[in-house]
Chains A and B, each alone.
Chain A
Amino acid sequence: MSTTSQTPPRLEVRDIVKSFPGVKALKGVSLKVLPGEVLSVVGENGAGKSTLMKILAGVQAQDSGAVLVNGQSRNFRSVSDAMESGIALIHQELNLADNLEIGANIFLGREPRRFGIIHEAEIRRRAADLLQRIGLNLAPDTLVRDLTVGQQQMVEIAKALSINAQVLIMDEPTSSLSAGESVRLFEVIRDLRNQGVSIVYISHRLAEVQDLSDRVTVLRDGENAGNLVRGEVTHSSLVRLMVGRDISRVFSRKSYPAGEIAIEARDLVTSTWPRHKLSFSVRSGEIVGIAGLVGAGRTEMLRTLFGVDEPVSGSITVAGKVVPLRSPQDAIAAGIALVPEDRKQQGVVLDMTIRENIGLASVHRHSQAGLLNFTVEKSQSAEMCRQLRVKSPDDTYRVGNLSGGNQQKVVLGKWLSLKPKVLLLDEPTRGIDVGAKQEIYQLMDQLASQGIAVLFVSSEMEEIIGMSDRVLVMHEGRITGELPASQLSEEAIMNLATGHQS
């Protein structure tokens, strides 16, 4: 194995193998992290990225293979072993105690002490240093609960730096950040790299990867698919390595003649943004994208349309009839379906089978005297699995064992078996691999062609531009503008999303 530099890699793994019940997650993966570089690790979901990172951070132990830190073999038995070797993992879900201050969080479990009691002044001083280093202009005694998600992430980074981490592993750090916060994060990442910290960056957002990486290691099905260095990293080269095939055209959007107005909101006021009125309509066969920064009120709007949150005022009309939406039942009865943002918490019941999940919203429609109709449930589930190409040996599998993309298909299957008039999707491709994303796009297109009105929220610009017939842009609870397909561009959307009225 040849090394490009003379110094040993800061972190290296060789032929890592790891199995879980029923699946071999890693089949001999190797990678190197050099000092002061940003190494991106990309791959479809299930390619083994998360497992590899957990092994690097000492969360899990490998079945076989070696981990070397600065050229020396190490065997991490716990997270603290890894931390002592200077490796810190920042999880996709943040692990902060939001009832504590920033400083307390940074030094949680390692509080500097004086005379046996916590030395608060020392904590604040050192926390302030760290916050300054990552450019977070906040007092160390601010409560974490008062921070934005982006700021909380910075606190996580500060926490990692406080143990002198030399390798910082970030798992999908931008997944819950707004565009502005992401930009800020990238600055910090570049700063840290210049300070000599190595960053292992995991993301599905290829544009970020392209932007940020010095090198990229691509994984596919638990194996190394290839390495790219800066300059070679392009969207298509990444996708080719990830899926093992060329995806020339991700978005297969055709335009269909729009029909009647399927859903219309008039002066709708949501409980989170009581000062703003929302008015818009979607025709059947139309795909309307809702763009905006995180926290712009897009999810709240969809929740209100689906009856999860009661509207403060205003009216919602479905197919010409005003429908009172006090609960999801009302919305479903009116023909509205929602594919929610938090798939695992709101979309599926992980511990139930595919069939039970698909039937969850519709079992009552074909039950007699409350008795389940197993025959219809089975055939309906089989039909949906076939139509949506759910990848599973059969539909009695636990949904929790499926990949994100397949879980999302199960959510869609649940709704499509009800034949909705209006389909609301909230970040439908979040955490889903490229191949499955494309299938979701095709499906959205196909549903529109069948006359369903599709309204979707996305934080991925290319998705919004690629899929929408029309885009509504939101900013702080208002709809700041509407763009037809012909006027769609990142600049135009960004302009509106940051509050400039059209």
Chain B
Amino acid sequence: MKGKILGILTVLLVLCTSLAIATSDPWWNVRTSQFLNFDNIMNLLSRIALYGILGIGVAFVIITSGIDLAIGSMVCLCGVLLSILLKVDYQPENPVNVTQVIASEQTIYLEGKGPLFPPGSTLRYTGGVGSGLVLTVDAVTENGAIRVREALTRNEKSGRIVKATPIQNFNADSLDVRLPPDFTASVNDQLQIFKPDGAVTVQKITSITRTATETTARLAKDPGEKYHADSFAVLLQRSQRCSIPVAVITVLLIATALGLTHGLLITRLRLQPFVVTLCGLLIYRGVSRWLTNDNPAGFGELQQIMGPVASGRIGLLYRGETLVFGIPIPFFLLLGLAFLATIFLTRTIWGRYLLALGRNEEAARFSGINTSRIIILAYVICTLMAAIGGMLFALEFSSISPSSFGNSFELYAIAAAVLGGCSLRGGEGSIPGVVIGTAVMQVLNNLITLLRIPQSLEYTIIGAVILTGVLGDELVRRAAAKRRLKQSAS
């Protein structure tokens, strides 16, 4: 195993050195190298980190002599789920549906009952043709309908009414909007500001001050001159499906459940890992597309808060105020996960059991090891890693397309694991090897870009290099065996 890691490490170093030289002009001046360019290295490290996390996961499954083809779809599903769980919405407070508008009587019938809108209050009517109308309540009829002062143009059977508040004063310098004291806005809500002529704008509230006589909301931006006077406001309350920790934990739980399902199907029902995870590949992809209606998914305003986890950097080198070089945060995550995985594999009984059953499941079972449980654990670890990777990838990409996001990531992960010394026969593998294997894959990818090799050849080159690597490993192994033979003969 050590020899294998050393071998792949040598390959990585040779690749990096040659690439550094090949992209320098003149070749000996590495300061001109496009490869060693700080931005390039930062990108590379970030990609290694994300793909490496997937590789570590699949290594566990490969050690059981299984395979997980669903990783790419799992990445997509987890990205999509995170986006859905974190969906942010702005809705007006207490909207009421309109059941009927009778223009001639200037009356609007509402769903439900009660004196929701006392006479004198202003309303905003949306939906139907009367979109954006500002209305003032004249009276409430016995049957709960409201009569308005303004003329209505036509009869309607749809639409929605929300409470509108006249803006008493707008301070263009401080961006403060003065509102009545009962205006229940809070920070991060939005203010929809509109004019009776239908013009409308939406602004975010950054702070709120309340006194006995008024509520002052400070806006993030100036809505523009024309809204400074004679305008109305509707409060749009912010709602987020889940808080960030709840969303992340939910995604991880769903991934655990799916990994558990894979494991149970493979151990209890004795289905082949290839088949089970191939079905996973298809199912999760389909579910992702269905959940999003095939529309791109993103994180909206949360991207700013969460994005740095995936694309942030711990600065090491600054020029003035701007960051010149930093280690991507996911890289630290990778190191942490790789460390934990190494401890698990080499220093815990479960790691030992995993290696034993990968080599000979029957002997492990006959030694009293609950092999099914360990195999299930491996699949759970793999899907969990895919989920972590998936969320990071989604944040890194910021907008993901459910039909292509994560496509063939499982192959990158498997290839990295194999390059890193995992045997598909099982029982063999090391986490540092997988990380280095991932690095080799990503450097290759980088090489194709930097040397302006047609992108269409990407898979061919990666395939050829993996084949060469595996071949080289085999040749070295044979040469070593021959050498030992000669030594023992003499």
Please give, as numbers and ranges, the residues of chain B lying within 8 Å of A138 by CB-CB distance.
none
Q: Does A329 lie within 8 Å of B363, measured CB to CB?
A: no
- Closest residue of chain B to A367 (Cβ to Cβ) is B349
Indicate which residue in A24, A329, A345, A367 contacts B368 across the interface (CB closer than 8 Å).
Answer: A329
Contact A345 B363 (CB under 8 A): yes
- Interfacial chain B residues near A372, Cβ < 8 Å: 347-349, 351-352
**CA A376 to CA B370, docked complex, whole Å:** 22
Does the CB pair A328–B368 fall under 8 Å?
yes
CB–CB A308/B366 < 8 A: yes
Residues 308-352 of chain A, each 1 if its beta carbon lies under 8 Å from chain B, else 0? 100000000000000000011101100000101000011111111
Shortest Cβ gap from A484 to chain B (Å): 32
| Contact for A360 among B351, B367, B485, B488, CB less than 8 A | B367
Whether a CB of chain B sits under 8 angstroms from the CB of A363 is yes
Q: A342 to nearest B CB, angstroms?
A: 8
Q: Is B365 among interface residues, defined by CB-CB distance under 8 A? A: yes
Say yes or no for B362: interface residue by CB 8 A criterion.
Answer: yes
Q: Counting CB contacts under 8 A, is A414 at the interface?
A: yes
**Residues of chain A contacted by B362 (CB below 8 angstroms):** 345-346
Is A22 in contact with chain B by the CB < 8 A criterion? yes
Q: A19-B485, A370-B350, A372-B349 are in contact. Are A340 and B366 (CB under 8 A)?
A: yes
Minimal Cβ-Cβ distance residue in A for B480: A21
Tell whether B484 is near chain A: CB-to-CB under 8 Å.
yes
Cβ–Cβ contact A360 & B364, under 8 A: yes
Instruction: Return the CB mask of B356-377 against A: 1 if under 8 Å, else 0.
Output: 1001101111111110000000
Q: Is the CB of B356 within 8 A of A19?
A: no
Residue numbers in A under 8 Å from B367 (CB-CB): 328, 360-361, 414
Q: A21-B481, A21-B485, A328-B366 are in contact. Are A349 and B359 (CB under 8 A)?
A: yes
Q: Which B residue sits closest to A330, measured CB to CB? A: B368
Contacts of B369 in A (CB 8 A): 329, 360-361
A24 lies within 8 A of B489 (CB): yes
Total A-B residue pairs with C-beta atoms closer than 8 Å? 83
Pick from A306, A332, A349, A364: contact of B360, CB under 8 Å: A349
Let me know if A349 and B356 touch, CB within 8 A: yes
Q: Are A308 and B365 in contact (CB under 8 A)?
A: yes
For residue A354, give the distance in angstroms from its CB to the closest CB of chain B.
13
Are A332 and B359 touching (Cβ within 8 A)? no
Inter-chain contact A345/B489, CB cutoff 8 Å: no
B360/A345 in contact, CB under 8 A:
yes
B122 to A: closest C-beta gap in Å: 66
Report A490 CB to chain B, min CB distance, Å: 32
Residues in chain A near residue B481, CB distance under 8 A: 21
Residues of B within 8 Å of A, CB-based: how many? 26
A117 at interface by CB-CB < 8 Å: no
Asked if B488 contacts A23 (CB within 8 A), the reply is yes
B206 to chain A, nearest CB (A): 48
Indicate which residue in B350, B352, B355, B363 contacts A346 across the interface (CB closer than 8 Å). Answer: B363
Q: Does A20 contact B (CB under 8 A)?
A: yes
Q: B79 on the interface (CB 8 Å rule)? A: no
Which residues of chain B are within 8 angstroms of A21 by Cβ–Cβ distance?
481, 484-485, 488
- Contact check, A24 vs B360: say whether CB atoms are below 8 A apart: no
CA A347 to CA B366, docked complex, whole Å: 7
CA distance A371 to B342 in the complex (A): 12
Q: Contacts of A363 on B, CB cut-off 8 Å? A: 349, 352
In the complex formed, the residue of A with least CB distance to B351 is A372
A395 lies within 8 A of chain B by Cβ: no
Contact with B along A352-363 (1 / 0, CB 8 A): 100010011101
Say yes or no: is B427 at the interface (Cβ < 8 Å to chain A): yes
Chain B minimum-CB-distance residue to A327: B370
Cβ–Cβ < 8 Å partners of B364 in chain A: 349, 360
In the complex, are the beta carbons of A371 and B348 less than 8 A apart? yes
A residues within 8 A CB of B349? 363-364, 367, 370-372
Of residues 439 to 490 in B, which have CB atoms within 8 Å of A's CB atoms?
A: 481, 484-485, 488-489
Report how far A253 CA is from B370 CA in the complex, Å: 37
Q: State in angstroms the CA–CA spacing of A338 and B363 once bound together.
A: 11
Task: Output the least CB separation between B459 and chain A (Å).
Answer: 33
A191-236 interface with B by 8 A CB criterion: none
Which of chain A's residues has its CB closest to B346's CB? A372
Cα A361 to Cα B350 with chains together (Å):
12
CB distance from B226 to the nearest CB of A (A): 67
Tell me which residues across on chain B come within 8 A of A338, comparing CB atoms.
Answer: 366
Complex Cα distance, B482 from A20, in Å, reads: 9
Given contact pairs A370-B350, A371-B347, A329 touches B370 in the complex (Cβ within 8 A): yes
Interface centre among B356, B368, B369 (most CB of A within 10 A): B368
**Which A residues touch B428, using CB under 8 A?**
351
Give the residues in chain B near A360, CB-CB below 8 Å. Answer: 352, 356, 363-364, 367, 369
Given known pairs A308-B366, A370-B349, the reply for A352 and B355 (CB within 8 Å) is yes
A338 to B365, CA, bound (A): 11
Return the CB mask of A66-96 against B: 1 if under 8 Å, else 0.
0000000000000000000000000000000
Closest to A365 in B: B349
- The CA of A21 and the CA of B484, in the complex, are separated in Å by 5
User: How far in angstroms is the closest Cβ of chain A from B446?
Assistant: 36
> In whole angstroms, how far apart are the Cα atoms of A115 and B410 in the complex?
49
Q: Please state if B360 and A19 are interface contacts (CB–CB under 8 Å).
A: no
What CA separation (Å) do A361 and B353 show in the bound complex?
10
Nearest Cβ in chain B — how far from A51, in angstroms? 14
Question: Which chain B positions have C-beta within 8 A of A331?
Answer: 368
B368 contact set on A, CB distance < 8 A: 328-329, 331-332, 361
User: In the complex, what distance in Å separates the CA atom of A465 from the CA atom of B355?
Assistant: 41
- Residues A22 and B365 in contact, CB atoms below 8 Å apart: no
Distance (Å) between the CB of B383 and the closest chain A CB?
21
Chain A residues within 8 Å of B427, by CB: 349, 351
- In the complex, which residues of chain B have a beta carbon less than 8 angstroms from the beta carbon of A361? 367-369
Closest approach, in angstroms, between the C-beta of A482 and any C-beta of chain B? 28
CB pair B363 A19 closer than 8 Å: no
CA distance A329 to B372 in the complex (A): 12
Which chain B residue shows the least CB distance to A370? Answer: B348
Assembly CA distance A17 to B249 (angstroms): 66
- Can you list 19 pairs linking A and B with CB atoms under 8 Å apart? A21-B481, A328-B365, A328-B368, A329-B369, A331-B368, A346-B362, A347-B366, A348-B360, A348-B363, A352-B356, A356-B352, A360-B363, A360-B367, A363-B349, A363-B352, A370-B350, A371-B347, A372-B347, A414-B367
8 more contacts with CB within 8 A, not counting A346-B362, A350-B359, A350-B360, are A22-B484, A306-B366, A345-B360, A360-B356, A360-B363, A364-B349, A371-B349, A372-B348
Minimum-distance CB pairs A-B, first 4: A332-B368, A21-B484, A360-B367, A370-B348
User: Which residues does B use to contact A, with CB under 8 Å?
Assistant: 347-352, 355-356, 359-360, 362-370, 427-428, 481, 484-485, 488-489
